Amino acid sequence: MATRDKALLDLIRPEVWNLQLSNFYPNEREFNKPAKKQHKISVITTCMGRADDIKKTFIKNVLDNIEYPRVEFVLLNYSSKDDLDAWAKGSLPKYIEKGVVNYYRTVDDYKYFMLSHSKNIAFKVATGDIINNVDADNFTNKGFAERVNLLANQVDTTKIIFTKSYRRNRGRLGFYKNEFVKTLGGYDENLIDYGYEDPDLFHRANAMGFKAWRFGGEFLTLVDGHRQHNHISNYENRDWMYTQRRNTLLSLLNLTGGYHRANKHRHWGKARLIKNFKEEISI
């Protein structure tokens, strides 16, 4: 192991930072209230260089949730160099016309994938009350939107993280949009290249008093043959172990310093986009 990697690994051991998740998970035995309110649920996917995964998952995810009356699927083409745009033009118009899908393509040509920036863009353009990230290689499975809405109906508070499970939450987080934007300040755009943008958001929310609500392991399952780092060529720094540890350290420094709201004094999630192949917008 390189000296720099060992130094970073020593610094990010949990016992060094003593991150606490006390009172973070509600008693799930109390999840017994009916869904009296139908929240609009946005399911959000960003993509650079992963058209092959999108072709397997995206339309199936739409069809698995289309019975929920207030669902929106957002697909962001973040300067993908493959055939994602051509596939979208051939496959998505009928769902766009139904108001179930909104497809966005960046106008500016980004050379590298920036996880925090891309997710911030997609989360900001989403129109749902509750916004949920779903990675390109994940199947939501049937009833995901309905399940998220059911969880939202269990309590009056909105300071909630919708997550798959206690540990497997990378790429599987959702929030009320208003709190994602105004309270949390989105994903931290100082975390660049690969790694830790989701745990950072998760722990910042915990520090601000959010509760984590699990939608369960039957949702958000991976495509066959999934490999976590098989698209590392999309990042400027391809040493994913180093960038993940670097981002972890930056996150922990912010957390221990009490900096829980990200992107202060910056225009975050900034982009020019083409919406549904015709309308140019700026955010």
- Burial class of residue 155 (count of CB atoms within 10 Å of its CB; 0-12, 13-18, 19+): middle
Instruction: Quickly tell me which residue has 């309110």 as its tokens.
Output: 37
pLDDT 10s digits, 183-214: 999 999 999 999 899 999 998 998 899 988 88
Which pLDDT score is estimated for 193? 93
Which pLDDT score is estimated for 31? 73
Fold classified for 39-282: Spore Coat Polysaccharide Biosynthesis Protein SpsA; Chain A (3.90.550)
Q: Which tokens go with 183?
A: 């309270």
How far the first Cα of the chain sits from its last, in Å, is 42
Is the pLDDT score of 215 beyond 70? yes
Question: What percent helix, strand, coil does the chain show, rounded to 5?
Answer: 35, 15, 45
pLDDT 10s digits, 236-269: 999 999 999 999 999 999 988 999 999 999 999 9
Domain ranges within the chain, ordered by starting residue: 39-282
* 163 within 8 A of 202, measured Cβ to Cβ: yes
pLDDT 10s digits, 31-75: 788 999 999 999 999 999 999 999 999 999 999 999 999 999 999
Which pLDDT score is estimated for 227? 62
Separation CA 185–CA 233 (nearest Å): 28
pLDDT 10s digits, 147-156: 999 999 988 8
Secondary structure of residue 173 in the 3-state scheme: strand
Separation CA 275–CA 72 (nearest Å): 14
**pTM as predicted:** 0.90
